[in-house]
Each structure stands twice: as C-alpha cells, then as structure tokens.
Amino acid sequence: MKISTRFSDSIHILAFINIYQGIIPLTSSNIASSIETSPVVVRRLMSALNKAGLINTVHGAADPVLAKSPESISLYDVFLAIEGDAHLFTIDERTNPQCIVGGNIQETLNGFYQQAEIAAKAKLARISLQDVIDTIRVKQAIKDAEKERRN
C-alpha cells in the first residue's frame, strides 16, 4: 500500500504557511486552492498538524503559524503526525498456522520489513521543511529566469 496523498498535502500546507505568511491570508480555502483540493481536507490535516505540535492554529481564526522553525521540522515529523505508525508494507493478518510457512511468515516478514521502513524513515528524518522550501524557491527562481530570458 502506498502512503496516501495526505502526507504530501501536509508538507504542502507547511511550506505554504511559511512562504505565504504575511502575503495572503492563510485560510483553509486559500491553501486548498494551491493544493487543488477542498478546504475541509486542508482543515482536517491542519487539525492533525496542530495536535502534533507542528503548527499553531486557533479555532475560528485564520493564519496558522509554524510552531517550530522549518529547520527543525523533518519530513518524518510530518509523517508521524499524519500517518502515525502506518506501515509502508502490508502483511496478511491470517495465514495457516498449521503450515511451517504460514505459521511463521508474518513475524518473519515483519522483522525484515521493519529494516526497510526504518531506512526510509531515517532518510525522511534527515530532510527538513527548510530543505523543501529551499528547493521550491530554487525551482521557482529557475522558472522566473527562464521567463525573463525569453523577454
């Protein structure tokens, strides 16, 4: 199973808050326009990010703020906030316990899958929201330069 777009959308929200704060009102509606989804989806995710301590929102008021600096928010922090202890790989819940394979495969795969998951999560833990924002700005700068060049 893949990880849902909730994870990507959440990173999007955090980057949006940082980049557009003070420039346009940070409402669920404005953020939703950037993601091209509905404001309710954004509010649900913002609510989770708030509970996880990544942003500070106020019930009834717009303009959420990042609760920590972008350097100190890792993609793994976001993953934890949104996906919790969800697994990247799925294991059958019922296999035949009478069979040598069926009776031991679940525990076995669980151990090996954890190795792979931890490797992936360790990578995510070393990528910060600031890295994401920096990359976005660089890519935008390249586009702007391209546009300028054509004039």
Partner DNA sequence: GTGATTGTAATTTATGTAGTTACATGATGT
Partner DNA sequence: ACATCATGTAACTACATAAATTACAATCAC
Read off the DSSP letter of residue 2: P
Nearer to a copy of itself, 59 or 90 (CB): 90
Q: Which residues 6+ apart lie within 8 Å of 125 measured at CB?
A: 74, 75, 76, 77
In angstroms, what is the minimal distance from the CB of 111 to a copy of itself?
7
Contact stretch for a copy of itself (CB under 8 A) within 46-54, 56-64, 65-73, 95-103: 95-103
The residue among 34, 3, 6 whose CA lies nearest residue 18 is: 34
**Do residues 35 and 9 touch, judged by C-beta distance below 8 A?**
yes
Identify the residue among 22, 59, 84, 101 touching a copy of itself (CB under 8 A). 101
Identify the residue among 22, 59, 84, 119 touching DNA (CB under 7 A). 59
The residue among 35, 77, 31 whose CA lies nearest residue 54 is: 77
Contacted by 43, from DNA, a copy of itself, none: CB < 5 to 8 Å by type: DNA
Distance CA 97, CA 2 (A): 28
Distance CA 130, CA 63 (A): 19
Which of positions 111-150 make contact with a copy of itself (CB under 8 A)? Answer: 111-112, 115-117, 119-124, 127, 131-132, 135-137, 139-140, 143
Read off the DSSP letter of residue 62: E
Asked if 19 interacts with a copy of itself (CB under 8 A), we say: yes
- State the residues that interact with a copy of itself by CB under 8 A: 1-5, 7-9, 11-12, 15-16, 19-20, 33-37, 75, 86-92, 94-96, 99-105, 107-109, 111-112, 115-117, 119-124, 127, 131-132, 135-137, 139-140, 143
